[in-house]
Chains A and B, each alone.
Chain A
Amino acid sequence: MTFPLVQFRNVLKKFGSFTAVKNINLDIEAEEFIAIMGPSGCGKTTMLRMLAGLETPSEGEILIDGKVMNNVKPHERDTPLVWQSLALFPFLNVQENVEFGLKMKGIKKKERELKAREWLKRLEINQFSNWDVNKLSGGQQQRVALARALITEPKILLLDEPLSALDAHLVVRMQQVLTKLQREIGITFIYVTHSQSEAFAMADRVVIMGNGEISQTGVPRDIYRAPANRFVAEFIGRNNILSGNISSIKNEIALVSTSAGKLKIKNHRGATVGQNVTFVISADLVKLCNQYNDNRNNIACRLISEEFIGSVVTLFLESKDGTEFKVQIQERELVDINFRGDNELIISWEIHNAHLLPELET
């Protein structure tokens, strides 16, 4: 019988009267790259610490390889963690840091050295093997931390926001290193982060957490295009979230009265007339045009500000009633659009591009 490598079963963790995580049910498969993402304080690090045995669940069970781990001590597990602060041993040099895990396993010095050299080489830091870890750059220290964690060839690697202290260009480089490494050695990476770009860029599957609970689990594309609830939609950002009341339904298309006007939306959840609904349109699916188009939803807006981040520009617009809209377009498309000073712009999106959230109210 096959079972998931890691299973959380109704896990709850309390610190005193504070509930850090609750109702956690999650299966993680072998060789999967899974990212646990959420705002700070959502309990994502607690999940990781429980996997490493540094915290014990207050209720529920955590299974690794089908074995209940609740009472297994941290040093009896094979779940190395790459720490946010890296936690390299400052009194050991690079090679000794990397060898540490093997030394604890009682591996002979010769073999340890051989293994350490192999990993240092693999992570391209072999020229620093005798260095004091404090003399290395952030990116190099990162690699030492990775080598130290992976040298025992575990089935699971835990990563706690390992890239949060690095410069932007190094983050992208390290993302490539991590993805390549995970594919090559074929072990499970459980990666905790608050960064959407890191999670989406690397993970096969993303778990979104909010207020100590899992809000959504899915592949990055689904989470981006079809958030399961308002929390996820807001957390993902770059989304336009609108609420309104269904005034009529015709051919599966609902007409919703919102503060910004009447908008059409595909009703795939069987909402009925009179219900309040919330729906989401990703900022990159909204277009700017100079005229109304009958097959789309159109709203007249005024430009408030723009945010330029390279090839992509996010425009912040406001409709007449004051609803804010975000539109994400390629920078080169900007020149084709006639802003005409303070004049009105029309934003529009295709009816099927709006995603209706399952939270229906009557």
Chain B
Amino acid sequence: MNNITKFSNAMLLTYTTAIFLFIFLPIAGSVVFSFNSQRFPTIPLGSFSMEWYEGVVDDVDFWDAAKASLTVSLFTSIIATFIGFCTAYTDYRYQFRGKSIFIALALLPPTIPLIIMALAMLAWFARIGISGQIYAIIISHSVLTIPFAMAIIRMRLNEIDPRLEAAAWNLGASEWVAVKSVIIPFCRPAIISALCLTAAISFDEFAVAWFVSGLNKTIPVLILEIVTGNIDPRVNAVGSFVFLVSMTLVVTAQCLIMASRLRKSNGNFK
């Protein structure tokens, strides 16, 4: 019995390590090569160098792309989290005819292949004459990320005692005020993590952005342009930057979700 447990634990550890290596080794490689003085990513490494970072910092294209990416992810996260919250609350609070269809539609976007979505968006934006605008990227990224925001907030709403909202009405809060003073404070950790996660997804997203961005290139689009045609080690530097931003956002989101779980299991509120 004990041996079996030991064996399965060892297997689990090996498996987990393998997965993490599989995911993070290429990224770690990219980070390491971004500080490598040699032009080509080969081993043995050359000396430590900030050359490629300096190259990125001096590049106007990079600053434009960074600005576009940050703007897009900021607005996307706000819009997606707002709509995601509204959808989650609707699902939590109301029963209505066709609700299951409504929820299925709300959760649909991530199941559509990105390239199809990107083409459809481009076709639509071209028709209404806003393709190539920065807000075209914001709109399409919002569509893409709303379901994630909704899922996170809906999970949090599962944990609320439905009597809390009724208790607020009972103490003189109108329905709007109850949402503001009970539902939103209760969901705050989930709302912040939804903001972080949708920002991260938008910041990383390439396919849709590439189709609809036009001249307003985002960073992933810029990376593609750098790597097509020539070998430029600056891409490692840009990649490391993108990885750092995304990971910060995702880890923050994850920590907030875990913290509210933990508080729930420790706390004694029913």
Contact = CB atoms under 8 A, between A and B. Distances in A.
Nearest to B159: A90
Contacts of B177: 75, 104
A79 B170 CA distance: 7
A100 B168 contact: yes
Contacts of B83: none
B186 A87 contact: no
Contacts of A79: 170
B182 A54 contact: no
Give chain B's interface secondary structure class: helix
Interface residues of A, number: 27
A89 B163 CA distance: 10
A179 B135 CA distance: 64
Contact of A89 (B174, B182, B188): B182
A90 B170 CA distance: 17
Contacts of B175: 75
A88 B170 contact: no
Contact of A134 (B167, B168, B170, B267): B267
Contacts, number: 69
Contact of A74 (B163, B164, B170): B170
A200 interface: no
A79 B177 CA distance: 18
Task: Give the residue among B173, B269, B270 with the most A Cβ atoms within 10 A.
Answer: B269
A327 to B, nearest CB: 40
A101 B268 contact: no
Interface residues of B, number: 24
A83 B269 contact: no
A104 B169 CA distance: 9
B262 to A, nearest CB: 13
A100 B268 contact: no
B243 to A, nearest CB: 34
Interface in A69-125: 73-75, 79-81, 83, 85, 87-92, 100-101, 103-105
Interface of A: 52-54, 73-75, 79-81, 83, 85, 87-92, 100-101, 103-105, 133-134, 148-149, 152
11 contacts: A54-B170, A73-B169, A75-B173, A85-B163, A85-B270, A87-B161, A91-B188, A100-B181, A104-B173, A133-B269, A152-B171
